């Protein structure tokens, strides 16, 4: 069994500042880390699918480093559109081989238990939309051909339109090329994404895309394109991707907040199930 936990869109701010003056993302990320560290069994890895920082500077990445270093499991990160890949390389340690990559993109592949993690960089400097680019797509094609291990791809921007129009307008520009590539690689069992700040599941290139909620604020559910982008303090969460040889990857959404329970199931006297 291999367990991969995924958190996303931490949007860490300089100490004492809330995100958009409302979302206490630093405190909420600390809660996410506490939830991850309380998991039993512990995950084999924690993957952070981008937007580690909010308006990236040294103060925010100092916070990212401080918070992620408290995670007990090995940590792997990729950039989102709110990140600076260059600052991540300069200022973060112990978060995967982010110094690799032949170009300005942060991409790498690592084996974790029985699965392989392929980490992609969809960030475009100074832009909110995503793009992998032809060089990274060529690297991905080569990398997927190297191994037929069950593979999970981490990418910040989802390679599917979600129906939330203001977010789709800042989506992944070369999603069709990625989907075509995936359709030729059936050992890719999951695409793990962020960016939209909601739980979303879709089919892409013959595999399953799961998009995790943010550890902080969520994007308001508006699939009618009736409003400008807004956020809402719905429950933050994370995904636990559970791989077994018999079932492949099964993904569980888990919440970070504490709720009443768990309680035992039992039948009242005279009642049978």
Chain positions contacting Fe ion, by CB under 5 A: 9, 51
CB of 82 to Fe ion, least distance (A): 6
Burial class, 220, CB count within 10 angstroms (exposed 0-12 / middle 13-18 / buried 19+): middle
CB of 42 to Fe ion, least distance (A): 26
- CA distances to 15, 170, 198, 257 from 18, rounded to whole Å, are 9, 24, 20, 19
Angle CA(96)–CA(100)–CA(106) in degrees, nearest 5?
A: 75
Helix (H, G, I), strand (E, B) or coil at 226: coil
CB of 227 to Fe ion, least distance (A): 18
CB of 12 to Fe ion, least distance (A): 11
CB of 149 to Fe ion, least distance (A): 29
CB of 54 to Fe ion, least distance (A): 8
CA distance 210 to 6: 10
* CB closer to Fe ion, 9 vs 131: 9
Q: How would you classify residue 131: left for phi > 0, otherwise alpha for psi between -120 and 50, otherwise beta?
A: beta
Cβ-contact 123, 50 below 8 angstroms: yes
Helix (H, G, I), strand (E, B) or coil at 121: coil
* CB closer to Fe ion, 57 vs 242: 57
* CB closer to Fe ion, 11 vs 243: 11
CA distance 82 to 214: 13
* CB closer to Fe ion, 51 vs 60: 51
* CB closer to Fe ion, 9 vs 44: 9
* CB closer to Fe ion, 144 vs 211: 211
């Amino acid at each position: 069994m291999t367990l991969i936990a995924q958190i996303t869109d931490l949007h860490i701010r300089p100490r004492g500042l809330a995100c958009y003056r409302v979302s206490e993302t630093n405190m909420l990320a600390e809660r996410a880390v506490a939830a991850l560290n309380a998991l039993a069994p512990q995950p084999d890895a924690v993957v952070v699918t981008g937007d580690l920082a909010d308006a990236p500077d040294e103060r925010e990445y100092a916070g990212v480093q401080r918070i992620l270093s408290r995670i007990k499991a090995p940590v792997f990160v990729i950039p989102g559109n709110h990140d600076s890949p260059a600052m991540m390389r300069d200022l973060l340690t112990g978060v995967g081989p982010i110094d690799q990559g032949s170009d300005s993109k942060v991409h790498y592949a690592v084996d974790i238990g029985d699965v392989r993690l392929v980490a992609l960089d969809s960030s475009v400097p100074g832009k909110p939309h995503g793009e992998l680019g032809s060089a990274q797509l060529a690297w991905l094609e080569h990398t997927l051909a190297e191994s037929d291990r069950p593979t999970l791809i981490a990418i910040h921007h989802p390679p599917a339109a979600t129906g939330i129009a203001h977010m789709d307008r800042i989506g992944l520009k070369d999603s069709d090329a990625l989907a075509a590539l995936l359709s030729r690689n059936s050992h890719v069992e999951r695409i793990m994404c962020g960016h939209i700040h909601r739980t979303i599941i879709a089919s892409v290139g013959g595999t399953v895309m799961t998009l995790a909620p943010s550890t902080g604020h969520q994007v308001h559910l508006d699939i009618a394109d009736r409003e400008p982008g807004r956020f809402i303090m719905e429950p933050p969460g994370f995904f636990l991707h559970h791989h077994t040889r018999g079932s492949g990857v099964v993904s569980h959404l888990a919440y970070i907040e504490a709720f009443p329970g768990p309680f035992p199931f039992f039948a009242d006297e005279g009642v049978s199930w």
